[in-house]
A and B are shown apart, each in its own frame.
Chain A
Amino acid sequence: MKKAKIISLILLLAVPFFAYAQNITVRGRVTDGSTGESVPAASVVVSGTTVGVIADVNGNYSISAPSGASLVFSSIGYDTRVVSIEGRTRIDVVLEPSAEALEDVLVVAYGTAKKSSYSGSAEMVRAEELAQKPVSSVEQALQGKVAGLQVSSASGQPGAATTFRIRGTGTLNASSSPLYVIDGVATTSSNYSMNADDANTTTSILSSINPQDIESITVLKDAAAASLYGSRAANGVVIITTKSGKSGQGHVNFTAAVGISAVPKQYEMASSTDYYKLVYGSYLESAAASGKDHVWANQQTQGLFSWNPFNVDVPFDANGNLVSGAKNVINTDWQNEVMKKGYSQDYNVSYSGGSDKVNYFFSVGYFDQKGTTPTARYTRYSGKASVDARVNSWLKGGANVIFSYATQNSETSSAAGASPLFNAVSFPNAVPVYKVDSSGNYVLDSNGEKQFNWNNPSSRDFNPVAIPYMNINKANTARLLASFYTEVKFMDGLTAKTVFSPDYVSVYDIFYWNKYHGDGPAYSGRGGRTQTSDLMFTSTTTLNFNRTFDDVHNVSAMAGYEYWQSKITRFDGTATGFAFDFMTELAGASTPQSITSYYTQAALMSWLGHAEYNYAEKYFVSGSFRRDGSSVFGADRKWGNFFSVGASWRIAQEDFIKDLGWVDDLKFRVSYGTSGNNAGVGRYQSLGLWTADAGYQYGYNSGLGHTSLSNSNLGWEKQKMLNIGLDFGVLNNRLSGSIEYFNKTSDDLLYEFPLPASHGLTSVMMNLAKVQNQGVEFTLNAIPVQSRGFNWDVSFNFSYNADKILDLAGDDDITMGDTKKIWKVGHSQYEFYMPTWMGVDPATGDPLWKAATGTTNRYSLADYEMQGRATPWGFGSLTNNLSWKGLNLSFMFYYNLGGKFYDTLYANMMHEGNGSGKNINIDEINAWTPTNTKTDVPKYVNANNNQSNSPSTRFLYDATYLKLKNVNLSYSLPASLLKKTGILSGVRIYLNADNLFTVFKDKRYRGYDDIDIFGIGGYDPYPNYIPLSRTFTMGVNITF
């Protein structure tokens, strides 16, 4: 219907033209203003009509048009020109590359802004800068691209979530993820998968956006930039703009890429012989004390491992020597068995183009990534359609629809025996993958197949190589994100726009535990399904005004209303007693186990406004205001106001600078504003609640557990931020950059105030504390060489950040036992707090920690001390980009300065018998013995309980590192060659490598190249995540 109306409207407008004007034929050539070469396939349209032609590959065109009309010349990457025909029959047109349009327009809150005049702090990354490589989510490609932005992937699981931190963390308990805005619509970054929650993994909803469909990403860092988003903006805002059609000839773009990945480095574990000797030695010692012999000690050792890795029953004699004829027959490298090579592929096709009436962009994509563990996999099908139509001179409208369907197969990461990662580092080498006889030969089944071994001392009845194939842990995510807009122009400079955006997320979780091994047999197979959906609506209506008075007074203003709501619905059912392992639907189960359903709702209503004035593009002032009412807060604090003011001075526009001649750009800007943080607050957290759940049932009586204490004053975190910046460009912009200082204080922090357990509930959410973040960001871009064939440019960024707790609701300090931190006024919220390791007592082999009395060998008596903060004081990246003709090489180093992290994985494998039977690192071989007293590894004792590997500085490391994050080599076929093909307009092939190597300053560190698995706080008790892999990708990008 709508389409028919648009067409008839166009016809109505067009017919009179053709009927009464006298047409002539105009010819000419379109050339590039910078190179003088022709612009192939430029669009030439008679202004105000749909009549148009496309120039040929040499830029030549011919068009019939009324002699008094104007022609509109356009092409992607060039400024559009409108030329009046005035009776001429030949018009040659020079199009200027739209450098300004591409480089200097920023997508910002509720619109765009010229970078040259913008007074806030925002950085925009364009599609071409997001290295073309198969990543499931674009966030992963952003690391190092933006000063002040920390990106960490907690897991190498394909499709897993990524953590963003913009300018540190201004919150103690609330979430510190930024607000994501996709095509103008504030959206979700929640985790919807119940399986993911249960298995301690993540599925990123942002992965539902195909990175290939993204045109640009803007990171809003300061209050002036972000405060228009009010109560959701305190952690910064990430604006994702997807591709849309541009006027000009239609294009078809095809991309394909394949990749291979592997985890580059692993912990070096003790061989089964070495571990055997250690355990055996300890049993020999207790045998002597209890009158038993070495045969018993051998037996105990084998019992502990659940396997005898030697070919004889008593491999070691009473002196600890290998008996003759004894040899090791089992020595499994479990990390190697579990971690495999991963493969990925990524294909996309898009069509785009447009006239001055209608622009379109359509795309479809397929992405498939197999992770580095047995069954980790992420597959996504995506499609996008975007149409903008100029209905008439005063009405514009359009739609942008993104659909995706993704399937994520993940390995569980919880510490339970089911985690392949946990098992890979905790199964001792003495345990075989397949059943073997005493000589180490496979014991085959009746079909001659190898049989998996299910005995081990770490996870009963598990085998990390087999279980992932026998169980299912899958999340299917479907998403439809659409936005429809209408824009009405009342008069020049005054428009109204209304946008309506439904966003529907549906996640269907599937899990199944097989009947035969692992967690499932006790239930004779256990399976579950969880259906979660989130239906969100955003409706935004704005009135925009834009006018220039007396040529120098530029005024723009915007006012609007926005409404957002979300309803999350969940149904969950589990059943047991499955007939067959191949029939995993609940229909095949005999016994329902638990069934539950519920929904949660939230709403936000807002009034907003923004105004800007500049005098002669030299002096700028702006201000914005937002009033938010949010459902998640307490009855007494539903509404809040947020504002910002900013000013900038383009010094380069002053005559005295212009006179210098070598300064191209110089701008000073300052802004101040407020914003709020509502993330991380449960939707009903302000209420004192009793919640229904199967866990609270007693027998067959339904039960409601006491789950939260009421707080009617619960409100948002209030943030104030001052930002001062200086942007510069000199020597024809060969050297440009910016330096910024910010000071943000966050007050009324949402704070999970810890209560003594004897209160019944262990915490209550309150607005209490205050923290400060201060930082400096520095960005420098240089072009050391720029000659006609060869270009070398360098970009460097550095961020310094320091956070400090200013107030803790009257407390001096609060120990955060879960994260091994202390919150103390005047210190970072990331301050590690744990006992200080004092080495090994050379006389006894006991572990020693610092205590009031000097040292102690009992962990519970050790003193806790502040041990430095987890977050780096500085970080950034250095990128070099070299290009010669079509050849381009770029490489990026990422660096992290300072900060500490705690290696829980290594602590677990240096257990000295505290983790009975769990595998040990090769360093454990250096454990204290009466003859090896100069060591930092305490004595190994079976069934130890001295807590020698409990959290202390023994496993705390300096997080300073340098990483070669990315290398990209590409070649674009020359235009001359493409012309000959007649159809191709661009071909680029590339090779890409990610996470090539990492150099750690702390030489004691033994672990994976990826310390992000320990989280932003540098501590995770169960970091059983898949480390980030080293990835090589090969791809091609073809434009027709």
Chain B
Amino acid sequence: MKKYIYIALISLAALVACSKETLHPVPSNAISDTQIFSSVESARTALNAGIQYICYGSSFPYYLVMSDTMGEDALVTAGTYGIDNYERHIHAYTYSQVPEDDPWWFGYANYIWLYDYKGIDVANNIIALMEEAPDEPGKEDLLAQAHALRGYLFLRLASIFSSTYTLNPDAPCIVLRTEPADGSSEHLPRATVKDTYTQLLKDLDYGRQHCSPANTDFFTPKACALYMARAYLYMADWANAKKYAEEAASNVFDGSNLMSQSEWQAGFMDPNVEWLMYFAFNPTTSNYYVSIPSFYYLAKTAYSVDEKGKANPNDIEYLDTAAEGDYFEEPLYGYSNIRFTDRFRNYFEDSDCRKMFPFYFYEEDGWFTSKFSHRTMVGDADYPLARTAEAYLIKAECEAQNGGNAALAKSVLNALQEARGATPTEATLENIYMERRKELYGEGFRLHDIKRLHQPLDRSKDPEHWADVKTLPADSPRFMLPIPQNEMLYNKALTAADQNEYWRK
């Protein structure tokens, strides 16, 4: 009898948990394609992930800092003046970027490309899967955000991976992926510059017309207009650039919609009236060290270093003194490896609120800037992605072109200059270009201006520049980054001939 009881028990044991669901478990911290696009509310979480790629720590700082250090005003410390550069940014500064991603500090191209396309992938998924979804509140803004995100990232990619529109609109640009991709999707070749701009303008325009975010940390119609103005400016389409710059500034160019001098001097970290769109930084989830201020900001004052003070690297007091409390009142620094030339600093009058270059350790190392500050700790700062001041500069530049309104150009330029505490100047194109440098330094414009204006690079007059590359001719192929090696390897629509000229085998 007992035997049979045991047999029964054993059979029971054998039947433990045989349900069909057992083999189809669902994850606890992830949802499927169909679930996430089942409502606007859930699709919004995908959009959030897409937006965060705009300022993703592994790509955005490189894109942004590079756009300044590849010019003549900014540089990366040589690492011989007390603060090491940790290799970060030096290969953009020295024009020694490579297509390989290893070691990574030689090949930012890989990271910028990858993470921008991750943002584009999110946008593509939202657009493809939500367009047909039933109408509900928020759907229009969601789709508009996705379009704007895609257009914005296409513009950013186009500006660094291809030559300029005005040089050759038929030159190869970026991969224009506008649909979600999977393992069986067709591989796409590089689209032309012209097609890329057509697409990105279409996307930004969609955003401009349909965006209605609750807050300016998402795409706003005005920010989209400004990005369109920027794109048209790169295309040298003055009429359209002007039109959208006016829209971005609500056609107010009297200085009333600009930030105050004290706001400027507080260091960029909090949004204000002038910021048409900003990136919201969350210090509890983002990586401080690779935020923008981390690369620019040491402090407004530093112990044992007075203004223009020289310091022996061995004597510069670092974090240990800070931790003891007294010498740095501000948050501690991050990489702090970007400097500006003395010549650039001297472009500013002392009355100019933008003259935010508190000190250097060694004259030859160049000046620190405190334009980008932070709140509670290193890197804790919101970051402007569109400022009305840029609309002023675009408007002034377009009006200063042949056929424009020179007087209007001057009044717009002067309104900006006066708002910053600078003496008004004539609105020559040269002066406007200079004003762009002074207003937008550290915000990722200089390289793209050099390119679109077909200027040469000339660093030869500044003793701070230590890179071998001191000069480059206008339209140099070295102003582009290489197409990343992994794209070259795995994109079957590309051959070795599709690589940018300087890296082509």
Contact = CB atoms under 8 A, between A and B. Distances in A.
Interface of A: 290, 299-304, 306-308, 394-395, 454-455, 457-458, 460-461, 486, 488, 490, 496, 498, 500, 515-517, 521-524, 539, 541, 561, 563, 565, 576, 591-594, 596, 598-603, 605, 629-631, 635, 638, 683-684, 687-707, 709-711, 753-762, 764, 766, 814-815, 817-818, 851-852, 859-861, 863, 915-917, 943, 945, 947, 950-951, 1021
A515 B323 contact: yes
Contacts of A691: 27, 29-30
B319 A461 contact: yes
Interface in B15-43: 16-18, 22-33, 35-36, 42
Contact of B118 (A458, A488, A706, A815): A706
A523 B377 contact: yes
A736 B177 CA distance: 66
B318 interface: yes
A914 to B, nearest CB: 9
A303 B78 CA distance: 9
26 contacts: A303-B362, A306-B313, A395-B6, A457-B79, A457-B84, A496-B10, A521-B319, A541-B11, A690-B45, A691-B29, A691-B30, A696-B52, A702-B45, A710-B33, A754-B489, A756-B175, A756-B187, A758-B491, A759-B121, A860-B98, A860-B505, A917-B84, A943-B94, A947-B98, A950-B103, A951-B102
**Most chain B CB neighbours (cut-off 10 Å) among A594, A696, A762:** A696
Contacts of B98: 859-860, 947
Contacts of A943: 78-79, 90, 94, 466-467
B25 A631 contact: yes
Nearest to A451: B320
A598 B28 contact: yes
B24 A689 contact: no
A689 B45 contact: no
A590 to B, nearest CB: 10
B250 interface: no
**Most chain A CB neighbours (cut-off 10 Å) among B49, B280, B289, B503:** B49
A605 B377 CA distance: 52
Contacts of B485: 817
Interface stretch (B178-186, B201-209, B226-234): B178-186
Interface residue range, chain B: 35 or more
Contacts, number: 317
B10 A541 contact: yes
Contact of A950 (B82, B100, B122, B490): B100
Contact of A704 (B3, B18, B30, B378): B30
Contacts of A818: 102
Contact of A699 (B177, B217, B379, B503): B217
**Most chain A CB neighbours (cut-off 10 Å) among B110, B117, B467, B485:** B117
B177 to A, nearest CB: 6
Contacts of B180: 760
Given A631-B23, A817-B102, A916-B85, 12 more contacts: A303-B80, A306-B82, A306-B84, A455-B318, A521-B322, A522-B289, A539-B14, A565-B22, A753-B183, A755-B181, A756-B491, A817-B489
Contacts of A709: 182-183
Given A521-B323, A688-B33, A852 B505 contact: yes
Contacts of A851: 505
A945 B175 contact: no
Contact of A638 (B23, B86, B217, B322): B23
The 6 residue pairs across chains A and B that have the minimum distance between CB atoms: A760-B121, A699-B280, A303-B80, A945-B96, A703-B48, A756-B491
Nearest to A816: B489
Contact of B313 (A303, A458, A599, A707): A303
B86 A860 contact: no
B486 A756 contact: yes
Contacts of A757: 110, 113-114, 117, 484, 486-487, 490
Contact of B17 (A307, A563, A596, A762): A563
B67 interface: no
A951 to B, nearest CB: 7
A689 B318 contact: no
B84 A706 contact: no
Given A760-B120, A943-B78, A698 B49 contact: yes
B282 A760 contact: no
Contacts of A755: 181, 183, 490
A19 B125 CA distance: 85
Given A488-B10, A758-B117, A951-B102, A697 B82 contact: no
A761 B281 CA distance: 25
B282 A697 contact: yes
B314 interface: yes
Nearest to A436: B314
A655 to B, nearest CB: 45
A814 B96 CA distance: 27
B448 to A, nearest CB: 21
B270 to A, nearest CB: 13
Contacts of A695: 52, 285
Contact of B320 (A516, A707, A861): A516
Nearest to B319: A521
B479 interface: no
B266 interface: no
B302 to A, nearest CB: 15
A304 B80 contact: yes
A522 B181 contact: no
Contact of A488 (B6, B94, B280, B487): B6
A758 B188 contact: yes
Interface string B1-12: 011001101110
Given A706-B122, A860-B503, A302 B102 contact: no
Contact of B52 (A290, A490, A635, A698): A698
**Most chain A CB neighbours (cut-off 10 Å) among B121, B285, B466:** B285
A684 B79 contact: no
B46 A690 contact: yes
B87 interface: yes
B497 interface: no
Contacts of B188: 758
Given A457-B79, A601-B25, A521 B332 contact: yes
A486 B6 contact: yes
Contacts of B482: 860
A279 B14 CA distance: 73
B489 A701 contact: no
A760 B30 contact: no
Contact of A602 (B25, B79, B118): B25
B45 A703 contact: yes
B80 A300 contact: yes
Contacts of B44: 701
